Amino acid sequence: MLNAVIFDFDGVILDSEGLHFKVFNQVLEKHKINISWDDYQQKYIGFNDEEAFKSIFKINKKRLNKKLIEDLIHQKAIIFEKSIKNDEADVFPGVVQLIKSIPVKLPIGLCSGALRSDIEPVIKNLKIKRFFKSIVTAEDTIKSKPFPEPYLLSLKNLNIQDPSKTVAIEDTPAGINSAKEAGMKVLAVTNTFSSGYLYEADAIASSLAEVNRKTLEDLIY
């Protein structure tokens, strides 16, 4: 029997990857760095901001210290939050309805590489924060996706003993790898990547509007 459902945030709940890409380049502009959409999609989607900035600076042979990383993350968070308030990102069809349709007795978690400050305003505005029994964000683990630590913490918070009966809903190869390494089943949605990139998932959907509890239950049998 299905024992929990854990949602990713960017690319699953919020159509925000394009906005993240835009804001990354705004922050990087003063450092004379520009990343292409292809590079962003292939190398950085699914990773937290700290790991992304470290990789970008290393590839561009730019010096980076702890203070600068903190400044970059802070600058990006401020711009991103302003953009969200200006409604520059939309909620994906079906996701709020799916969250609300899951019975109260079935624990729901949120596991994301985004900052808590990016997530909280959105889920409060959507009136879905109360449905999540666990919210794991970039600040909560040392290692981010594709490592399993974020999902392992989510499972611990939800008191899940058998992760093989837990379903993660993801949109990136990094997220899928993280959940699978934590022993979970994965439903991937093609909001960000085409199905060819999501082959390690247990099932793939084109939209969460076509997913219901039975779809999730079927993954664990």
Extents of the domains making up the chain? 4-15+89-218, 17-85
pLDDT of residue 117: 87
If you average pLDDT over every residue of the chain, what do you get? 94
Does 17-85 carry CATH code 1.10.150.240? yes
pLDDT of residue 13: 96
Question: In whole angstroms, how large is the CA radius of gyration of the chain?
Answer: 17
Residue 21 confidence class, pLDDT cut points 50, 70, 90: very high
Average pLDDT over residues 92-96: 96
pLDDT of residue 88: 76
Residue 17 confidence class, pLDDT cut points 50, 70, 90: confident
| Tokens 């590489």 -> residue | 113
Instruction: Render pLDDT for 65-89 as a digit per residue (tens, 0 to 9).
Output: 999 999 999 999 899 888 888 877 8
CATH fold for domain 4-15+89-218: Rossmann fold (3.40.50)
pLDDT of residue 85: 80
- 96 contacts: CB under 8 Å, gap ≥ 6: 126, 128
| Lookup: tokens for 175 | 């997220």
Q: Higher confidence at residue 4 or residue 17?
A: 4
pLDDT of residue 104: 87
| Tokens 């990789």 -> residue | 55
pTM of the entire predicted model: 0.87
